[in-house]
Every structure is written in structure tokens, then in C-alpha cells.
Amino acid sequence: PALRRGGFFACRLERLYVVPLTGKEHETPFRPATRTDRHGVFRLYCRAVPEVVRRVEAPTQQDWRAVLDSYDAGREFVLDREGRLSAWVGIGERESHVLIDDGGESVVDAALDLIEGHSGRHATLVVAEHQGNIERVACERGYTALGVRLMCARRLAVLDTLKEVVAVPAENFALPQ
């Protein structure tokens, strides 16, 4: 209730999971992301995240960069398929994030293998509510649920109703001949 009074509204629900540490690196189809992949990652974000979330979270590429920076991912990896990026993995000191566009179970497994091999001791996997396939595979692999995080946004613009229109006779305006 206090958040709503302050103008905040819920925009995304995230589930947090403990990453089981394997300590071993697997063969991976992912490659390290480069600066030139930024636009491709934004396009992947636009395909993988529902519009209602994108509209609030990051409607532009510049907003997406701010969201991506907030993930504090020290290492980023991407997966190329059919001439475009189909998956992104960001691994930070404490949290790991994944974006997958219509990836089958093999892509999710490869992403989780990558996270398990590169994560730190207190690693957490963050799974958004629209990423049910990632959550299912993570649970099957023995990831332990830590909790839930509700992401909120605040409407900064003032919503004004449109002013009423008053009819003005056309003869009051000079028309071009």
C-alpha cells in the first residue's frame, strides 16, 4: 500500500535461485560478448521480454543499456543462431541473468552450464516470471529457491486530461487561394 501511495506499481516479478557450483567448465556454444553485440542484445531483449514489461523497464536502447548496467554483469556471453543473437548470459559477482529467445531445452542447459562453471561462491540465478522454461530446467537440475523479488516502477509523468476543443468558425481564418 505504501508503494502505491508513492506512485509505484509492480512491473516484474523475479524468482531467485541458488546456483549449484560445479567448478568445471563445459563445452559451450556461447561466445564472449563484444561491444558490437550491444544492438543485437537489445533486439534479443525486445523478442524475449513481453511488451508490457519492456514498455516500463526499457522502451529504448539507451534505457536498456541502463538496465543491463544495473545487472552488474562482469562477464557477458552470447549465442549466435541463424544470423542473430538468440541467447545472452550475464554473470556478475552475485547474480546471473539470462535472456533466451525461443530456445529449446538444449540452449537453456548450455546457459545454465555456463553460469555454473563461471559463477562465484554465493551465486544467484535471477529468473523473471515470463521465463518459465528457464525456471523449470533450473528446478530439474536441483537449483534451490531463495526467494522472490518484486520490481516496481514509478510513474514520473503527470497524467493530464486533454483540454476541451472549442469550435471556431472557418471564416475567422484566411485560407490560401
**Percentage of residues in the chain having pLDDT higher than 90:** 23
**Percentage of residues in the chain having pLDDT higher than 70:** 85
Residues 63/89, Cβ–Cβ less than 8 Å: no
Q: Which of 80-89, 112-121, 161-170 has the highest mean pLDDT?
A: 80-89
The SS3 assignment for 3 reads: helix
CA–CA dist 71, 93 (Å, integer): 10
pLDDT, tens digit (0-9, with 9 covering 90-100), for 124-172: 899 988 888 889 999 998 899 999 988 777 766 555 555 555 566 666 6
**Least trusted range by pLDDT, from 15-24, 30-39, 149-158, 165-174:** 165-174
State the chain's mean pLDDT as an integer: 82
Residue 61, C-alpha cell as written in the block: 536502447
Does residue 52 have a pLDDT over 60?
yes
CA–CA dist 47, 67 (Å, integer): 16
Q: Which residue has the cell 530456445?
A: 103
CA–CA dist 78, 161 (Å, integer): 45
What is the model's pTM? Answer: 0.79
CA atoms within 13 A on the CB side of 24: 3
CA–CA dist 108, 127 (Å, integer): 12
